[in-house]
Structure formats: C-alpha cells, structure tokens
Structure 1
Amino acid sequence: MNVLIISSVWVEPQSSAAGSRMLQLIGLFLSKDWKITYASTASPSEYATDLTKKGIDTISIALNDASFDVFIKDNSPDIVLFDRFMVEEQFGWRVAQQCPDALRILDTEDLHCLRKARHQAVKENRIFNENDLLSDIAKREIASIYRCDLTLMISEYEMELLQEFFKVPRKLLHYLPFVLSPVLGDFIPFEERAHFIAIGNFLHAPNWDATLQLKKVIWPEIRKTIPDAQLHVYGAYASEKVLQLHNPKEGFYVKRRAEDAIEVISKAKVLLAPLRFGAGLKGKFIDAMQCGTPSVTTQIGAEAMQGDFTWGGAIEDDVYAFAKAATALYTYKNLWKVAQDHGRILINNRFQRVDFEDGFYDVIMQYKNTLTAHRQANFTGQMLLHHTLQSTKYLSKWIEEKNKKENVKK
C-alpha cells in the first residue's frame, strides 16, 4: 500500500499529544511495510521528528495551488489520511478529483465541535448542553466525516455522540485510541520524587485555562497545607502572558517546553490537570500512567480514558476537593502507591496496540476492496462531496488566480 498523509503541521511528539498520536499511526502503517509520504503545509519546525530517518518521504505543499494536483497524481496513493477535518476541507476535493480510487481516511484527533462548544459554555459561565454542539464548526466537521470513507475516533464518548446525537452511521467510524506497549511497572520510587507537575502545549486553549485555574485557586489551596511545595509547569509555545505567571516565592515555576516529557513526569510525585473543557484523549495522562505518576483531573480530563477501571489518582470537578485530593496523594505514600497501580492496570487494559492493530488493518482492507459499494451506501457523503467539488473547487481556483496576479505584480 502507498499511504499519503496530509497535515497542516509537522510531527512534534514533544509539543503535543497529537504529535505522539501521529507517530503511532505511522508506526501501524510501517509495520506492514507500506510506503508512506508525509505532506505538510507548515513551515519547517526545529522541534519536528525527522521522519526521513524512518524511511518516510516528506514534502512541503501549498494551499490553493495546482502544484498539489500534479504531486498527488504522480504519487498515486492507495490511501490518503487527512490530519483533522480542516485539512480534508482544503485537499479532499483535489484528492477525490485526481485519485478517485484512493481510500480517504480522516483522523479527527478529537471532536473539534465538542471542544469548542464546551469552551463557549465555560466562557459564558454556564453548564454545557448538547444543543451547544449545533454550530458552524459541527456542520463543517460532520460534513468532512461524511465525505471520507472512514474516520478514526480516539474517544468512545465521541463515537457515541456522533452516532446518537448527529446520527452518523457506525460504518463510517472506527475506534482507534492511543496504541501502546505494556507498562511493566519499573518506576522511580516515591522517596526519590519531588514536586507537582503540570504539562501541556499552551497553544491548546484547555491547557491555558487549566494553568490559570491552578494559579488562581488550586495552587494557593495546596500551599496552605504544604507551604514548601513546588509546582513545575511545562508547555510548548509559552507566550509572555504564560511566562508572567512564574513566581518562585509562591512555588509556581513556569518551565516552558520539556525536552523530554517522560523524564520530567517520571521525577514528579503528582500530575495536576484541572481541565474545564476539551475533547478526545489527553496524552499527559497516558505519559503519567506510563511513568507511574498519579494524576488529579476532572471528569472532562478523564473522559473516555477510564472505562470500567479505577483512575490512577483522583477525579474532582470542585477546585477545593481537587486541591485536597492532590495534597493527599502527595503526602501519603500508601495512597500514592495504590493510585500508581491503578494507572498501570488501566493503561495495560485499555490502550494496548495488540488489541487494536488487526482490527485497524482489517477495516482498511475491507473498505479498500469494496470501495465502490461502500461509497454507494453513503449517499449523503457523495452528495456533500459533489457540492464541495463545486464550491470549494472554484473558491480555491479564484484564490489561486488571485495569487498568480499578485506574484506578477511583485
């Protein structure tokens, strides 16, 4: 199989969970010895993984430019993976036009319309309800899901939401969470660890909001009980407003990007993530469980991760209960050790690669071999693709001609 991945970013596993997720998908394709090309509209990044070392071809592509048509026709992929729905909007119609027999797969990372709706509810200081989902973002995202042959979902909760609320057919969706190796339990002991930790890309709004929650309410409560405690806050792309929160006198340390997230999480006693909105799975908790580091989070933070297992730490939505749980985990070794064991059991039962890889390959081959019938059964998707080909195509052509004229003037 010849696989083309199209993205608006380069793969940065140390910057976000999305980068780790993409590496996992690439690993699944590579294990079958499939040829992979990774195409991105982003500028070069010093933090990006060198995919060429894995035998992957990389190429920079331009938006609204016919050069992509020439490239993809020459590449002639069997499978095209769109990294998020915005990329499918930009390139899906070109893929359908130039390579109609390619299997089109969308990787959502998380359900953007859910994250945006929850964010709006928080900003308006009210309870989220499902009617908040009926937004323009939802219309775009659901349309993208229909236009693709298969959409990869990382969250069981979002799988259910798409089917029950938006009435998306189950056959268009495939559950593929983080796919990991077993955690054996060789962790740094309690006595050799120090400090609380928070970690997450600051460009991601839920992480910035959680940092403010810690700074304003939760951390002062923790310091009342543990006056000499330190919180080390790590995150890629820290702006000036983030750096201004740094205050050693309060034990609040902004550390910027972690060069090795696993290393800093492994050395911490407790990870804190008071997430008030968001979607998908959170990579920080996967890292924490792999490191044997208990975590305290909210219902939204733990959503779609816990399943029927006990959380490796505590889940509290009330900020004062959150602070109390964090303090207890930090202070009592026996409680901390039990939480550590719960995290290891959870991750080893919920996110093992061996439990998902065969099903992933099977659905790809099934749809690839019955592509015509599969698409005929998805008339809504074909209708949306038809209108997208007309509207997006001519908007893109207009932008392309406009750019040509501007370049001539220069």
Structure 2
Amino acid sequence: MQQLLIIGFVWPEPNSSAAGGRMLQLISLFKEQGYSVIFASPAQDSDFMVNLAEYGVDKQSIALNCSSFDAFVKELNPSVVLFDRFMMEEQFGWRVAENCPNALRLLDTEDLHCLRLARQKAFKENRLFQTSDLMVEGVAKREIASILRCDLSLMISEFEIELLTTTFKIDKALLYYLPFLLEPITNSAFEKLPSFEEREDFVFVGNFLHEPNWNAVQYLKETIWPLIRKQLPEAVMNIYGAYPSQKVLQLHQPKEGFLIKGRATKAQEVVSNSRVVLAPLRFGAGVKGKLIEAMQCGTPSVTTTIGAESMHGDLPWNGFITDNPQVFADEAVQLYNDKKSWLEAQYNGLVIVNQRYSNAMFVEDFNKYILALQANLQQHRLSNFIGTMLQHHTLSSTKYMSRWIEAKNK
C-alpha cells in the first residue's frame, strides 16, 4: 500500500475556508486510490478543525526546526509527500529530500500567493497591476523556488498555469491542473433547491483572515450597498465569515440592512436560502470557493473579473461580472427582482459545475499521471536542472539555518 504524507500549514477547517474543503477533496482522491494517509502539521489544534480520524486519516503533530521530524519521516518512509502551500515546502522539503529521496514531492499551491500579494500592493497604491510587479514581489522568489524544487505542483487556476509558464518560464511538466473536485449536480438535486420565491436577501460568505474578503466587505458597505439600497430600500445584506475581527463587527448596521452574522455553521444552507451572492473582490488569486458554493446552491452571483478569473472558461457566468460599482449594483438588483434573469443565471451555474469541476473528469487521469511520474522519477528530476540546483543550495543553506535555530532553542 502506498503512503501519502500531507504536511499541512493548518489543520483542515472546511467550514472556515475553501482551502479546508480543497484539502479534504485531495485526501478523498488519494484514499479512493488505496493510499494510507497521514496528515502532519506544526499548527495548534483549533476548535473548528475536522476530526481526521472520521476520514480514515492519521493525525501527527510535528515541530518546526526540529530533527524529530527527520526520525519521523524516515521511519514512515512515505511514497508521496504533499506540501500544503509553499511555506511548508520551505520548512520541511529539504528534510523530506534528505531522509526520503525516493518520495514523490507534490506541492498544493492553493493559489499563487505572490500573485495575490502583488495585486494587493498595486490596489493599495491605486494603480493597475502588471505582471512585471511579480518580478519585484519578494514572496515570488520564495514561491517559484518552491515550485521548482518539487516534482509536481497542483494548480487550481488555468490562468496561473499560463502566468507561471510565460512570465516565470516554468516547465509545464512541473505543473498539473487539478481544480475543485465536485460531485455533479443531478437534475433531481437541482429541482429540490429552494425556488426564487422561497429565497430572500443578498449574502456574502468569506473567511475574514483572508485580506481580499475583508476588503470586499468594506467595498460592499461603503460603495456598493448604498447604491443597491437606493433601488431596494428594504433589502438586507447578510455577511458571514469565520474569524471576524472587531473592525469587521463594527460594520454591523441593522438600520442600513447591513448585517454581520459571523461564522456560518451551515454555509450551504445559508447560501441556498439567499437569492443573490455578492462578491466584489478587488484583488486575489486562485479560484473562489464562495462562488463555486453559490453555483452548487443554485444561487446566482455578481462578482468582478478577479472573482470570476479562471472559473468558467467559455461558459456564461451564473449571474454577472463587472468592475463598475454602479453596474454591479444595477445587476445585483436585476437578479434580485427579475425571475427570468435569475433562472438563467442559476442554470448557468449548474452547467459550470458539471462541465468544469466534475471529479470524474480528473480522478483517473491524475492517478495515471502520478503512477507514471513515480515510474520515471529519476529522469523527471534530471530534466529539472534548476529545481535540482535549488534543492542542492537549500540543503546547504536552509538546513544549517534550521540546525542553528534548533540548537539555539535548546
């Protein structure tokens, strides 16, 4: 039996973020192929983490900058190691390479952190983002190095694959498109969704530890919501999200119909009972879990070009895409009031989920690709000279920095 070791940045919280849901999808993918799965993390336990034992996954706490990990991973001797975001590869990649040289090293990027941060910086400097911004983004140097050191990086966004291959000249052999893996929406399930008449209110759902979400809620409150309320004076905007800070809670204004609800214990139920999802994201990266969830719940959405990036291919969106605040408000009102537009948008979401994210489209090909990669691992690494070079220098630098920190901590 093959063993998969996942080194997690945090313990999975699928009810807090799309990243948590994505991780459970990857766990299920490998479990279905017969892997035994061990999830290790240096993070503290949280009140909202899943019980990994219920998924047939062993849980292991590990320490940063500590040789105890070396003994653990050497004894485990996994056939595949999956790093959850580049920060975990930075911390533990060299230890895996040194103690388990034959293990296939995978990186789940989630989204390109350097892209999100460069866009955020451009937004805050009130200028348009340019791809050249990535060349001076410090995180880019770390993230691209991590991608090069790994045997394969799992990418959730086709746009980001194009960016990596053109801007950073990454070999396509190091990248694999594996988006959200969803169960198709059947006709019977679609028919059971709440009807247009049974739904009410606008909704936004997003983890507030994620800066693009906080910025989007500010933008809603200050700019877009007043434009909507001019047309719909009784409208209600429900804001849900894990880990709301005091600055988020201060936006709660019942007289304006703008309600901060905090964590949604049953997010799909909340979204299914709402009429329209609003997601005016002004920077970010990756694929947006909140908008996938809207489609699964049969809830049309209005979002921005950043929000819809790489999500729908050539298919029509399940609502509207615009970066103009007045148009955003007008189209939100149209979806809320016009049943015909709403039903068309809802159906578009069904098509997007079934034609772009159905797990059956990806599982078999991914398994074959991993097996072929394992069978040809030595040649694959020889073809990635820059990655091999980076791994060599990482072993020579990061290794001794980590050893120094370990000795200092003693």
Query: Structure 1-normalised TM-score?
Result: 0.98
Corresponding position of 1:34? 35
Q: CA deviation at 1:46?
A: 1.2
Match of 1:390 in 2: 396
1:128 pairs with 2:129: yes
Q: Within 2, Cα distance between the matches of 1:43 and 1:72? A: 20
Deviation, 1:33, is 1.8
**Superposition deviation, residue 143 in structure 1:** 0.5
User: In structure 2, what residue type is equivalent to 1:258?
Assistant: A
> Does residue 220 of the first structure (1) align with residue 226 of the second (2)?
yes
Counterpart pick for 1:209 among 186, 204, 215: 215
Give the C-alpha shift of residue 334 in structure 1.
1.1
Tell me whether 1:403 sits opposite 2:404 in the alignment: no
The letter for the 1-side match of 2:303 is: T
**1:112 and 2:113 are equivalent in the alignment:** yes
1:310 paired to 2:316? yes
Q: Distance in 2 between matches of 1:384 and 1:141?
A: 12
Q: Calculate percent identity across the aligned residue pairs.
A: 57
TM superposition shift of 1:54: 1.6
Deviations 1:121-179, CA, capped at 9 Å, x for gaps: 10001111111111221111111011000000000000010001110000000000001
For 1:125, give the aligned amino acid.
N
Which residue of the partner structure matches residue 362 of structure 2? Answer: 356
TM-superposed deviation, 1:306 = 1.3
Aligned equivalent of 1:147, options 146, 149, 155: 149
TM-score by length of 2: 0.98
- Larger displacement relative to structure 2 (177-186 or 5-14): 177-186
Partner residue, 2:17: 16
Q: CA deviation at 1:21?
A: 0.4
For the 8 Å contact 2:279–2:303, the answer to whether it is kept is yes
Residue 68 of structure 1 and its aligned partner are, at CA, apart by 0.4
Shift of 1:62: 0.6
Deviations 1:101-134 (A, max 9, x none): 0000000000111101100010001111111111
Question: Counterparts of 1:355 and 1:398 in 2: how far apart (Å)?
Answer: 47
Deviation at 1:189, TM superposition (A): 0.2
* 2:33–2:367 CA contact under 8 A, matched in 1: no
In the alignment, is residue 173 of structure 1 matched against residue 157 of structure 2? no
Segments of 4+ moved more than 3 angstroms: none
Could you say which residue in structure 2 is the equivalent of 1:407? none
SS at match of 1:326: helix
Matched residue of 2:284: which SS? coil
Match of 1:81 in 2: 82
Give 1:163's aligned residue: 165
The DSSP-based 3-state class of the residue aligned with 1:192 is: coil
Structure 2: segments with no counterpart, 5+ residues: none
Residue of structure 2 equivalent to 1:199 = 205
> C-alpha distance in 2, partners of 1:342/1:149?
36
Give the CA RMSD over aligned residues.
0.6
| Partners of 1:282 and 1:68 in 2: CA distance | 34
Q: Secondary structure at the match of 1:293?
A: coil
Q: Which amino acid aligns with 1:89?
A: E
CA distance in structure 2 between the aligned counterparts of 1:107 and 1:236, rounded to whole angstroms:
23
Q: CA deviation at 1:74?
A: 1.1
For residue 277 of structure 1, the aligned residue among 280, 283, 289 is 283
CA distance in 2, matches of 1:217, 1:54: 43
DSSP 3-state at the match of 1:258? coil
Matched, 1:233 2:239: yes
1:284 maps to a residue whose letter is K
Separation in structure 1 between the aligned mates of residue 90 and residue 323 of structure 2, nearest angstrom = 36
Give secondary structure in 2 for the equivalent of 1:222: helix
Amino acid at match of 2:147: I
Q: Which runs of 5+ in 1 are unaligned?
A: 405-410
Distance 1:315 1:241 in 2: 28
Alpha-carbon distance in structure 1 between the residues aligned to 2:185 and 2:289: 15
Q: C-alpha deviations, 1:239-272, integer Å up to 9, x for none?
A: 0000000010000000001001100000000000
Amino acid at match of 1:109: E
In structure 2, what residue type is equivalent to 1:53?
Answer: E
